[in-house]
Amino acid sequence: MGGVFIHGAVVDEETRCVHYRSERDIIAIRFACCGRYYPCIKCHQEAESHLVRTWKPDEWDQKAVFCGSCKQELSIRDYLSAAGACPSCGRPFNPGCQKHWHLYFEIGQQSGCPR
């Protein structure tokens, strides 16, 4: 997958997994705790024995989001401000993922989250 290895229960080359596999489920996230890409937190929890650490706002320039469509790594900041589509290829992301951002990224008033 473009030099990036996606861990977990991946079901296709666009990073869909057994937990989330709609047409728009095309991203994987590099977890701050282990540096490994997983399609979702459930895949991470099934494979790892450590706790998840969220990305802090001062780390949001790190490339930690992988678009399964165009195989580009995005910075967290670019992903969070992407308006629902990959800034590289334009493929739409699942809008429901925003409900889970707090599981991956430290979101809050002080974080500058683009909500």
Render pLDDT for 19-61 as a digit per residue (tens, 0 to 9).
999 999 999 999 999 999 999 999 999 999 999 999 999 999 9
Residue 104's nearest CA partner among 40, 43, 49 is 40
C-alpha distances in Å from residue 100, one per residue of 13, 66, 94: 22, 16, 11
**pLDDT at residue 2, as a whole number:** 54
Q: Structural domain boundaries of the chain?
A: 27-111
Q: Could you report the per-residue pLDDT of 55-92, keeping only the tens digit for each?
A: 999 999 999 999 999 999 999 999 999 989 999 999 99
**pLDDT at residue 114, as a whole number:** 44
